[in-house]
Amino acid sequence: MRRFLHAHARRLPFALLLAFAAVSCWPVTPLAAADLVITGGYLERDPYSGPLELRGERGFTFRGGPQSGIFQPVEDCNAGSAPCGPGDRISLHANWSSGDLPGVATLDGITYMKVGGDLSSLTVDFNGSVTMPPFSPSATIAAPFVFNGRFTHDGIREELIGSGVVTLSLMPHLAIPGRWRIEYMLYELGAMLPSPWTSRDIGAVGLAGRSSILNDTMVVAGAGADIWGTADAFRFTYQPISVNGTITAKVSSQEKAFDVPSYGVATPHPLAKAGVIIRESTSPSAASVILDVKPSGGLEFMARYSSGEATTYLGGASTPDRDVWLQLALAGSNQITAAYSLDGVTWIPVGTVSMAFGTTDVLAGLAVTSHDPAVLHAALFQDARVSGAAHTRNLLARGDFEDYEPPALGPPGWVSDDLLRQVPAKSETHQPRSGAKNGACWTTTYLDCGIYQEVVAQVTGSYNFRIYASADRGGGFVGANVNGVTAASTEVEPAPFGVYALYTLTFTAKVGDVVRVWMYSPPSPGYVVIDDASLVMAGESARVVTGGTWTIQGIGSPFGSFDLTGSGFSVQGTYEYGVVEPLDFCRSGCTARTFFLRSSFANATPSNLMSFARGTTTFGRSTGAPWVEYGGVITLNGGMVTLPTPTGTEWPQLVSASAPFTMSGVLRGYDVVGVREPRLLFEVPLTGSGMATLEMLAHPNASGQILLTFYRLNYEFNPIAALQTSEP
C-alpha cells in the first residue's frame, strides 16, 4: 500500500510558470483581496519531509518544502504524546508560515522567487480529524480536510481556500503497545466541481462551506444549524434532475468535523448530517426530501411537503458501517423512494413519500450540515451520480458484471474478443471494485486478450464512457470505437492489486452508429481488470478536433500554444502556464527516462485584463472580438513512454519518444471589457485524439551523470492514429 501511495503522489502534476516580472514597491499594511480558490496540489509527509505544491485561480502556483512548523498527526502519534489507538480521533492539523515555508510562487503572471523572504510570504493551514481504525498488520484510511492560507505580495493579502482528501498509511507503534504509528501521509487538494455540478451555502450557515472533487470523490464541507424545521442551513452540491431520475452516492468518513483553523480534535455534533437530497429550489424553506446519515451511523428519511412548512421525520435505520450508499429515486415528478445499501449492490428500502413540487425543475444533490454555525462538518461522497430521463441511463448491460456466473460472459453485455485475441476474457471474483464480481483478462504467457460490448446510438450527440480499471503492468488500454474506428482510448495505469482508477472518455456518435466499448490486455504475462462501466449521453454535443497541434515548450515564450480545427470551427491561441507532467518532474534536470505524456490547461474565468490565454476563434462565425480570452479546463491524457538512452559524446543531445493521447474538456471564450468584467462568448466541449511526442535534452552533470531536461511536448491531432493495433 505504501508503494501505491508513493506512486499516486508521483502522478500528481505540478503547476508551472515561465514568465518573470519585477516586484513592485511594498506598502506597510497589506490590503485584503477576495478569496482565491486552490484547485489542486498536494502536501506529502513521509513522515518528516516532503514537498508542498499548490495551484489555483488566476494562475496561482507555489512550490516549496516545509521546514519547521506544526504537523500534529506525526508529532502526536509517532511521539506518543496523544491518543492514537483504535477508535481514537486525532487532529490532522498542519501549519507552516513565512520563513518556515520557502519556495517559488506565481500569481497573475508574476513570479515571486523568494517566498518567505522580505517581499512575499505564505501561510498554510490544513485542518481536519480522523478516527483511528481497528488494529491490523497495517491500515490505510482517508478523510476530508479543509485548507486555508494567506499569500502576501506587493502590499496585497490574498486569502487562499480549498479542500481535499488526506490519506494515511498506518503501522502499529513499535515502542508504544496499543498505538498506531503514521508511516506516510498525503494531503491532496481537490479541483473545482465539473459541470453540471454547482455548490453553494443554503440559509444562514455561519461559516462558508467548501466543495471540491478528487478523482471520483467529492469533498463537501458545510456549517449551518440544521436541515430541519421550517428553514434549512447547510452546504448544497447539486444539479438539475429530470422526471424519473435518481441521486445516488456513497457516504464515507463523514464523522469528521473541524473548526477553521483547529489546533485540537473537533468532535462532530451527534445531529450533524451528510446525505442525498431533492429540493424544489435553493430557498432555505423550499420543499425537499432528504436521506442522510449521522456520525453515529443512523439514517434519517425526512420531508418538507411545501415551502415554509415544518420538516417531518418519515423513518430511518441504523447501519453497522460508517460507509453507506444512499439513494433517492424520483418517479413521475411527485413520488420519491429512499433506499440504502452497505455494498452498493443490494438496496434496502427506507420509505416512499408523495410530494407536490411546484415545478418540474427540481434539484438533486449532496447535503452537509454541522448542526453548529461555528463549525464545519465534512464528508467524502464517492461516485455521486444524478441520473435523469432515459437519455442519461446507462446504455451498457451488466456494466458491473454482477449478473454473470464466473467465468462466464455473454450477451446481453460483455463479450470476450475471441476473434482477434488469443486468451479469452472472463468474469471473476478476485478483485471487484464494488459488489462481488469484475471483468478480467489474465495470462501467464505472451498472448493478448480483449473484452468488449456493443450498443447502437439512439441519438446524435456526445457520449461519456466511464470505466474503472487496473493493471499490474503497462500496455493495457480502454477505449471506444464508433463504426469500427477508434473514437477515444487511454492507457490503464499500473496499480497495486485491487486498486482501481476511473477513466472517462468522451466522444461523439450519430443515430444508428455502432458504439463498441472495450478493454485490451497486451501480450505479456499479467492482468488488466475492469468494473462499474457506464455509457451515457454527455449532454451538449462535443466538437471533435480533426486536425492541428497543441504544443508546450520548456524555454521561451509563450509556454503553450494551440491551433485546432474541426467541422465548422477553428481555435488558435497561446497561454502562459499550465500543468505538464514531464516538465514538472524534470524542470532542473532529472535521471528518469519513463514519463506519462499528460498535461492540462485550466482557467476558471479570466479575472482582469492581464491575459492568461488569448487568441482567435471561429465557431460557425467569427466572434467579432480581436482577442478572445480563453477559459475552461482541457486535459491531454498521453500514454507512457521510455526515452532512449543517449549515445555518443556530443552534448546536449535531443532524445524523443511518442505515444497516443486523447483530449477532452470544455473550452470557454471571453471578451474582457474591463477589470473583472469578462463576458462569455462561447462554451463548447472539445474532444480529440492523436499522437504525442516528448522531446528532452540530455546532458551530463559535473559528476558525469546524464540528466534530462524538458524541451518540448507536441500533441498532433489525428483521430485515426490512436492504437489501431490494440483496439478490439
Most confident among 132-136, 284-288, 394-398, 579-583 (mean pLDDT): 284-288
Q: What is the mean pLDDT of residues 173-181?
A: 85
Q: At 118, is the secondary structure helix, strand, or coil?
A: coil
Pairwise pLDDT comparison (611 vs 564), residue with the higher score: 564
pLDDT at 48 over 60: no
Q: Write down the architecture of domain 415-539 according to CATH.
A: Sandwich (2.60)
**CB 642, CB 474: distance < 8 Å:** no
Q: What is the mean pLDDT of residues 687-692?
A: 87
Confidence band of 13 (pLDDT split at 50, 70, 90): very low
Sequence-separated (6 or more) residues with CB below 8 Å from residue 28: none
> Residue 558: is the preceding peptide bond cis (ω within 30°)?
yes
Q: What is the mean pLDDT of residues 364-373?
A: 93
Which residues lie across from 122 on neighbouring strands? 151
Which residues lie across from 440 on neighbouring strands? 426, 529
Give percent of the chain with pLDDT exceeding 90.
32
Q: At 692, is the secondary structure helix, strand, or coil?
A: strand
Confidence band of 266 (pLDDT split at 50, 70, 90): low
Q: What is the mean pLDDT of residues 669-694?
A: 71
Give percent of the chain with pLDDT exceeding 70.
83
pLDDT at 134 over 80: yes
Pairwise pLDDT comparison (289 vs 89), residue with the higher score: 289
Tally of CB atoms within 10 A around 392: 20
**How far is 15 from 476, CA to CA, in rounded Å?**
28
Q: What is the mean pLDDT of residues 304-314?
A: 94
- The candidate with the shortest Cα–Cα distance to 8, out of 140, 146, 104, is 140
Element (H, E) at 62: strand 61-64
Name which of 219-223, 254-258, 664-668 the model is least confident about. 254-258
Q: What is the mean pLDDT of residues 349-357?
A: 90
**How far is 329 from 278, CA to CA, in rounded Å?**
9
Supply the pTM of this predicted model: 0.54
Stated length of the chain: 728
- The candidate with the shortest Cα–Cα distance to 62, out of 92, 97, 102, 21, is 102
Sequence-separated (6 or more) residues with CB below 8 Å from residue 398: 404, 412, 413, 414
**pLDDT at position 607, please?**
47
**pLDDT at position 531, please?**
92
pLDDT at 14 over 80: no
Cell of 27: 506598502
Which residues lie across from 394 on neighbouring strands? none
Q: What is the mean pLDDT of the chain?
A: 81
**How far is 20 from 42, CA to CA, in rounded Å?**
24
**pLDDT at position 677, please?**
53
pLDDT at 724 over 70: no
Q: What is the mean pLDDT of residues 2-26?
A: 30
Confidence band of 640 (pLDDT split at 50, 70, 90): confident
pLDDT at 97 over 80: yes
Same fold? 198-387, 415-539: yes
CA distances from 239 to 336, 352, 459 (A): 17, 22, 22
Which residues lie across from 507 on neighbouring strands? 463
Confidence band of 401 (pLDDT split at 50, 70, 90): very high
Q: What is the mean pLDDT of residues 639-658?
A: 88
**pLDDT at position 560, please?**
87
**How far is 288 from 300, CA to CA, in rounded Å?**
13
Q: What is the mean pLDDT of residues 545-570?
A: 84
Q: Where are the domains of the chain?
A: 2-189, 198-387, 415-539, 543-717
Burial class (CB in 10 A: 0-12, 13-18, 19+), 22: exposed
**CB 37, CB 54: distance < 8 Å:** no
Most confident among 268-282, 314-328, 501-515 (mean pLDDT): 268-282
Q: What is the mean pLDDT of residues 219-239?
A: 94
Most confident among 39-43, 253-257, 458-462 (mean pLDDT): 39-43
**pLDDT at position 389, please?**
35
pLDDT at 19 over 50: no
**pLDDT at position 695, please?**
94
Q: In this predicted model, what pLDDT tens digit does every residue of 432-468 receive, in sequence order?
A: 987 789 999 999 999 999 999 999 886 667 788 989 9
**How far is 448 from 423, CA to CA, in rounded Å?**
6
Name which of 8-12, 247-251, 391-395, 628-632 the model is least confident about. 8-12
* CATH number for the domain formed by residue range(s) 198-387: 2.60.120.200
Q: In this predicted model, what pLDDT tens digit does every residue of 560-598 receive, in sequence order?
A: 889 888 866 788 888 877 778 888 778 778 888 888 888
Q: What is the 3-state secondary structure (H, E, C) of 247-284?
A: EEEEEECCCCEECCCCCCCCCCCCCCEEEEEEECCCCC
**How far is 564 from 580, CA to CA, in rounded Å?**
19
**pLDDT at position 525, please?**
96
**CB 185, CB 166: distance < 8 Å:** yes
**pLDDT at position 470, please?**
95
**CB 601, CB 575: distance < 8 Å:** yes
